Chains A and B, each alone.
Chain A
Amino acid sequence: MIELSPFLKQLLSLPGLSGHEAPVRAVIAEAWQPLVDELSTSKIGSLHGLRRGTGPEPRQRILLSAHMDAIGLMATSVVEGLVHFTQVGGIDPRILPGQPVTVHGRKDLPGVVAQPADRLLPAAQQGKPVSMEHLLVDTGLTAQETAELVRPGDLISFAQPPVDLAGETLSGHTLDNRASVAAVTLCLEELKHSAPAWDVWAVASVQEETVLGGAITSPFDIRPNLAIAIDVTHAKGPGVSDYRGFPLGEGPTLGWGPNVHPPAYKALKDLADRLDIPTSIEPMPRHSGTDAIGIQVVAEGIPTLVIGIPLRYMHTPVETVSLKDISRTAHLMAEFIARLEPDFMDKIRWDE
């Protein structure tokens, strides 16, 4: 039995910036090993876990895609022992000053993002949000030591430790999207107790935050008949009150829009309602901003669904999720997969 909170905290503690996911991949592989029949790594680093189904050959395949890469920073130069950096993935520079980080130099170095005093900045930056080019990482080491240990291209991860908040919520960096990796893991564990007809391909994908690298390539290898992208979505809370936010702790969202296969969506929504699993409809008028964008258009096209785990303060080091929402996401997927009949895709109909 995997305990969600410690497992998730372990995932958060591991670096794995976009394109450099190896440290977290190793731990996910370890967790998936007893839950799947085969494990492999794609040519660009996505982790594939296959749980074989019981249906007749050619067996139907469902792909669950949760990206494992994290946003972060990358060193660009070292000046007087202070590290200039750029971003990996989308980061609002306003959340950076005062953040604890780990600089993955010749060895891992703790550091802090320093906002130089206004007097040291160009006039236009004084009293304003300081742009990334003027922020620095200070390792606390001497200038000489830092210069010896850090080079341009070295990765820099967020290092704020996760915090348990009230009401079974957890705050930390990289819950986007390790929360979904945890959900897929719990789903695989729940499926141990059933014998789905379909093959289940669990994918911890790479490079979602930068180029959708994993989303575009794994489905080409796997050729699923149906795919679900699991990612975090915005929760209502400070700064988010309109339709783009969903209640925290009141269940996952089911994406709805051109990125989503309508009949499959209906089947998933009906099941959630039948099982009394609370869900919200997440309108995605154009695209989903998830692996689903990549997956949907691979090869001859793949019917795709999107499940969202509501999360506050996305792309900050205090992203906040409800553990219950993660468990519900896992349970909904496991129930859906366990019920998939071999002819599911033939029977569902477009509502013309």
Chain B
Amino acid sequence: MNNITEAYPVAPVIGAEQIALLEKLSNACAVSGDEGEVRAIVSEQLKDVADEYKIDGLGNVLVTRKAHQGDARALKVAVAAHMDEVGFMLVDGEDSLYCFELIGGIDLRQLPGKSVLVGKNHTPGVIGARAIHLTTSEERRNTIPLDALRIDLGLGGKAKIGDRATFATRFQQVGPSLVGKALDNRLGVATLIELVKHAPPNIELCAIFSTQEEVGARGAGVAAYYFDPDIAIAVDSTPAYDLPMWDNSENTQYNTHLEHGPAIYIADSSTISDPRLVRHLAQTGDTLNLPYQFRQPGGGGTDASGMQRRRGGIASLSISVPHRYPHTPIQIARLSDWQATTSLLYQALLRLPQDILTRPLDE
């Protein structure tokens, strides 16, 4: 008789319960530096599951699941998912009309005509635009500058300077899709919550629910220093620029495609993934017939950039759920991609070779 059931718990499955949690996470407001609402959800989900649980000086939630029977040889794997989202901070104004700054990479062209939620009480507000009747055709050729926009709370509406704001979008499940704000990176947060609940017993799992990724991967970096892991993996959500080219020529710059499974990073502009980890994830996908795609090497960055160059260097990798319309009020991802990402990550960790870091980097 062995205790294989305990040693190999059930793999995580993304179903109705997990989608409901994603909805809660997507609707929460947690702009970089103000991650409290998501932190509270993570805490509620994992406090009782964790072997160790703490909130560090930057607001990261650090959760440890020990290896089976405290195996001291088990590899220590940090997995980070950032809790923060892009958004706004009110910086000036009074009597219901507030100037605001952008936090994270937001395209100004996405702002006019949107509802927002302001501050801890989610006070509703809107970002308007001058009526078309009062604009000139010359004016319409230019993007409305940030200093011409206001967050309008209605007559006599009040907020505090320094309050954060997010788009007011509410999550929806539509056909095969997950539709909402901040899917970057609540998809990663939801994935990591499932991974912690179904921790692979062969490794020591150090989960980092990180802060301030959208303003420079600050949280994950210090958390990686704290954990001192053998391997660091960022679970994020990456753009799918898979729409047709305007002239219907071949789209060669798609970054990723929806419905092609998790995106494994080989290199982005701030991290070169450890090739051994890339090979291991791809082989796991090939062996188990799980879909995956390689993210087109190029721009962008994840929490991996904050973790890779800590201490003497940490073998790092990123894996992302693809989504369309990054950093806009409404993102679209496919449920199947999220399911496949969760499965691939879990299965790859479950099969992580004990000697992976002693193998040659180049094969």
Q: Name A's B-contacting residues (CB within 8 A).
A: 79-80, 82, 90-100, 110, 112, 114-117, 119-122, 125, 127-130, 134, 136, 138-142, 145, 160-161, 163-169, 171, 234, 237-240, 244, 248-249, 289, 312-318, 320, 322
Q: Which of B41-49, B147-155, B188-196, B306-314 contacts A (4 or more CB under 8 A)?
A: B147-155
Given A98-B167, A171-B126, A244-B134, 10 more contacts at CB 8 Å? A92-B135, A94-B143, A98-B329, A100-B330, A238-B150, A313-B126, A314-B132, A318-B126, A320-B126, A320-B154
Q: Identify which of A79, A140, A164 contacts B175 (C-beta below 8 A).
A: A140
Contacts of B132 in A (CB 8 A): 90-92, 314-315
Contact with A along B163-189 (1 / 0, CB 8 A): 000011100101111010000000000
> Nearest-CB distance from B52 to chain A (Å)?
40
**What 1/0 mask marks residues of chain B from 119 to 132 whose CB sits below 8 Å from any chain A CB?**
00001111111111
B244 with A79: CB separation less than 8 A: yes
How distant is the Cα of A313 from the Cα of B149 in the complex, in angstroms?
A: 11
Binds A, one of B83-91, B107-115, B220-228, B284-292: B107-115
**Which chain B residue shows the least CB distance to A115?**
B109
Q: List 8 A-B contacts (CB under 8 A).
A: A120-B246, A128-B141, A139-B175, A141-B174, A165-B125, A165-B152, A240-B130, A312-B152
Q: Indicate if the CB atoms of A166 and B243 lie closer than 8 Å.
A: no
Bound-state CA distance A93–B129 (Å) is 11
User: In whole Å, how far is A209's beta carbon from the nearest beta carbon of chain B?
Assistant: 11
Cross-chain contact of A238 among B152, B243, B251 (Cβ < 8 A): B152
Residues of chain B lying within 8 A (CB to CB) of residue A240: 130-131, 134
B128 contacts A239, CB within 8 Å?
yes
Q: Judge whether B359 is part of the interface by a CB distance below 8 angstroms.
A: no
Complex contact B243–A82 (CB within 8 A): yes
A112 to B251 CA separation, bound complex (whole angstroms): 21
With both beta carbons as reference points, the residue of chain B lying nearest to A318 in the complex is identified as B126
Q: Which of A92, A95, A120, A316 contacts B244 (CB 8 A)?
A: A120
Give the residues in chain B near A234, CB-CB below 8 Å: 131, 133-134
B251 touches A120 (CB 8 A): yes
Find B154's partner among A95, A128, A165 (CB 8 Å cutoff).
Answer: A165
| A316:B128 contact, CB within 8 angstroms | yes
Chain A residues touching B, majority SS: loop
Decide: A145 and B130 in contact? CB cutoff 8 A.
no
B124 touches A120 (CB 8 A): no
The count of A-to-B residue pairs whose CB atoms sit within 8 angstroms is: 202
Check if B97 is an interface residue, CB within 8 A of chain A.
yes
- Tell me whether B175 and A134 are in contact (CB under 8 A): no
Asked if B129 contacts A239 (CB within 8 A), the reply is yes
Whole-angstrom CA separation of A58 from B143 in the bound complex: 58
Contact B113 A317 (CB under 8 A): yes
Distance (whole angstroms) from the CB of A282 to the closest CB of chain B:
13
Determine the residue in chain B with the shortest Cβ distance to A119. Answer: B253
Measured CB to CB, the nearest residue on chain A to B143 is A129
Given A99-B113, A140-B175, A140-B179, A134 contacting B150 (CB threshold 8 A) = no
B239 at the interface (CB under 8 A from A): yes
Cα-based distance from A91 to B127 in the complex (angstroms): 16
* Cβ A239 vs Cβ B239 within 8 A: no
B238 to chain A: closest CB distance in Å? 12
A129 touches B141 (CB 8 A): yes
B128 touching A318 by the CB < 8 A rule?
A: yes
A145 to B177, CA, bound (A): 13
Are B140 and A249 touching (Cβ within 8 A)?
no
- Verify if B105 is at the interface (C-beta below 8 Å from A): no
Residues of A within 8 A of B107 (CB): 97, 115
Instruction: State the 8 A-B residue pairs at the shortest beta-carbon distance, nearest first.
Output: A165-B154, A167-B155, A166-B157, A313-B128, A239-B130, A140-B177, A314-B131, A166-B154
Contact across chains for A316 and B152 when beta carbons are under 8 A apart: no
Q: Indicate whether B144 reaches chain A with its CB closer than 8 angstroms.
A: yes
Quick check: is B156 within 8 A (CB to CB) of the other chain?
yes
Measured between alpha carbons, how far is A193 from B268 in the docked complex, in Å? 72
Contacts of B128 in A (CB 8 A): 237-239, 312-313, 316, 318, 320
Q: Closest CB of chain B to A308's CB: distance in Å?
A: 13
Is A130 in contact with B155, judged by CB distance below 8 angstroms? no
Q: How far is the CB of A195 from chain B (nearest CB, A)?
A: 36
A94 cross-chain contacts in B, Cβ below 8 A: 109, 112, 129, 140, 143-144
**A317 / chain B contacts, CB cutoff of 8 Å:** 113-114
Contact assessment for A171 and B154 in the assembled complex, using a CB-CB cutoff below 8 Å: yes
- Cβ of B243 and Cβ of A114 under 8 Å apart? yes
A239: B residues at CB distance < 8 A: 128-131, 134, 148
Q: B residues within 8 A CB of A99?
A: 113-114, 329
